[in-house]
Structure 1
Amino acid sequence: MTEPSLELKDVVLKVNRNTPEEVTILNHLNLTINPGDFITVLGSNGAGKSTLFNAIGGDLTIDSGQILLHGRDITHDSVERRTRFLSRVFQDPKLGTAPRMTVAENLLLAERRGQRRGLAPRHLNQHMAHFKELTATMHNGLDQRLTTATGSLSGGQRQALSFLMATLKRPEILLLDEHTAALDPQTSQDLMHLTNQRVQEEQLTCLMITHHLEDALTYGNRLIVLHRGQVTFDVAGAEKDALTTEKLYSFFAEIE
């Protein structure tokens, strides 16, 4: 039997601890993520979707439970240590890139993610041909802007760059936090198509938060729904393929 890529066991995470405003966001949550899973994550506002990602990424410390990577306990690993195996793309195109650095410079940073940093020549020109080929796969003109400061890009180009940076080193776990939500419909659709293509080609293990039921149904081999800090619905394969937006709407109506 294949060992899970990532496991969350009985995870509890609270905010405003030890105050009258204390709230439990993740409530004894259990989730097993298998190698090659592309999981779309649904849930109403406040269900715990982004908190789940923050717990996996180490941005928030869980109160109890365990997080295991290939069976190894990473519950207390730092954010920096987790970047060796994990990449994340955020909803805001401004996050994930350095605005004053060029597209090529940002990609070089991503190329060296997880490596020790020191004072050494960066040899940027040696990477330009590769970066041009890589950015051309986005089909949005990014390959013509390698020497442009990232802050001058369109939102779609900047988010495409964030996605390329996140997948450049083939992370063991890729977290997509509504990464198309801030884009116009056509740009969103284009990036979603390219996302799916890369995830499939690289056989990435990926979780994607989305509010678009159509995207949740169209993409990925598995779909989960979070409600009150727990996974209340988890379908894969043929069972997921048989889902419709009507069935999902009725499920949400039942749990609310």
Structure 2
Amino acid sequence: MTNPILELKAVTTYVNRHTPDEQKILRGINLKVMPGDFITVLGANGAGKSTLFNTIGGNLAVDEGTIEVNGQPITHLSEEKRTRFLSRVFQDPKLGTAPRMTVAENLLLAEKRGEHRGLVFRGLKKQMDRFRELTGTMKNELSQRLNTPAGELSGGQRQALSFLMATIKRPEILLLDEHTAALDPKTSQELLEATNTRIHEDKLTCLMITHHLEDALKYGNRLIVLDKGQIIIDVSGEEKQRLTLEDLYEYFEI
């Protein structure tokens, strides 16, 4: 029997704990993520989606419960140490890239992610053909801008670069935190299609937050809905395929 690659056991988080303003955000979350899962994550504002990602990524401490990766506890592991097996792409295209470094330099830097190395770019020229091929999968002329500083890219190109940087080392766990929300509809769909292709071709394990119900239904093999810090829907396979927009509207207001 296959074991979970990621498991949350009764994970609870608070804000303003031990004060009159104490508030529980995640309420005893239990979640098993299996290798190769592509999970779309839905929920109204304040449901706990970003908090869930922050606890998995190590940005936010877990107050109660445990988190395991491949059966090993990581609950108290630092955000930096989690980069050895986890990558994340944020909503803001400005996050995740070094603006003064070129596209190629950013990609080379991403290959050193999680390693204890100095920022010395060795053999960059030898990597250019591979980086040109990699960026060519984005269909947004990024491959023609390998020598352009990331800060001079369009929002869509910069977010595509962030995605490539997050996946270049094939992380065990990929978190996509509304990574297309800041893009125009056409660019958003192009990046989603490229995302879907790369996840399947590289057999990545991914959780993707989205506000678009259509995208949650279209992509991934599994869907979860958060409400008030709890998972109220967790469907996969044929059950997910049978879901409709009307089914989802019944669970929360959009």
- Which band: TM-score by shorter chain? over 0.9
Please list the CA deviations of residues 198-235 of structure 1 after superposition, one character each: whole Å capped at 9, or x if unmatched.
Answer: 00111110000000000000000000000111111100
Does 2:2 correspond to 1:10? no
Give the Cα–Cα distance (whole angstroms) in 1 for the partners of residues 188 and 121 of structure 2. 37
Does 2:23 correspond to 1:27? no
Give the Cα–Cα distance (whole angstroms) in 2 for the partners of residues 97 and 17 of structure 1. 34
Within-5 A mapping of 1:1-256:
1-118=1-118, 120=120, 122-252=122-252
Aligned residue for 2:197, secondary structure, equals helix
Give the Cα–Cα distance (whole angstroms) in 1 for the partners of residues 141 and 118 of structure 2. 33
Aligned residue for 1:137, secondary structure, equals helix
Q: Which amino acid aligns with 2:252?
A: F
Give the Cα–Cα distance (whole angstroms) in 1 for the partners of residues 63 and 119 of structure 2. 39
- CA 1:36–1:121 in 2, change beyond 3 Å: closer, same or farther? closer
Give the Cα–Cα distance (whole angstroms) in 2 for the partners of residues 50 and 93 of structure 1. 17
Give the Cα–Cα distance (whole angstroms) in 2 for the partners of residues 179 and 31 of structure 1. 22
Report the TM-score when normalising by structure 1: 0.97
Q: Is the 8 A contact 2:8 2:66 kept in 1?
A: yes
In the TM superposition, what is the alpha-carbon distance from 1:51 to its structure 2 partner? 0.4
Please list the CA deviations of residues 155-192 of structure 1 after superposition, one character each: whole Å capped at 9, or x if unmatched.
Answer: 00000000000000000000000000000000000000
- Tell me how many residue pairs correspond in the alignment: 254
Give the Cα–Cα distance (whole angstroms) in 1 for the partners of residues 228 and 250 of structure 2. 17
Q: Which amino acid aligns with 1:16?
A: N
What is the aligned-residue identity percentage?
A: 69
In the TM superposition, what is the alpha-carbon distance from 1:119 to its structure 2 partner? 6.8
Question: Which ranges in structure 2 are unaligned for 5 or more consecutive residues?
Answer: none
Give the Cα–Cα distance (whole angstroms) in 1 for the partners of residues 234 and 119 of structure 2. 48
Give the Cα–Cα distance (whole angstroms) in 2 for the partners of residues 22 and 126 of structure 1. 54
- CA 1:121–1:170 in 2, change beyond 3 Å: closer, same or farther? closer
In the TM superposition, what is the alpha-carbon distance from 1:127 to its structure 2 partner? 1.1
Give the Cα–Cα distance (whole angstroms) in 1 for the partners of residues 216 and 102 of structure 2. 33
Calculate the aligned-residue CA RMSD, in Å. Answer: 1.2
- CA 1:26–1:145 in 2, change beyond 3 Å: closer, same or farther? same
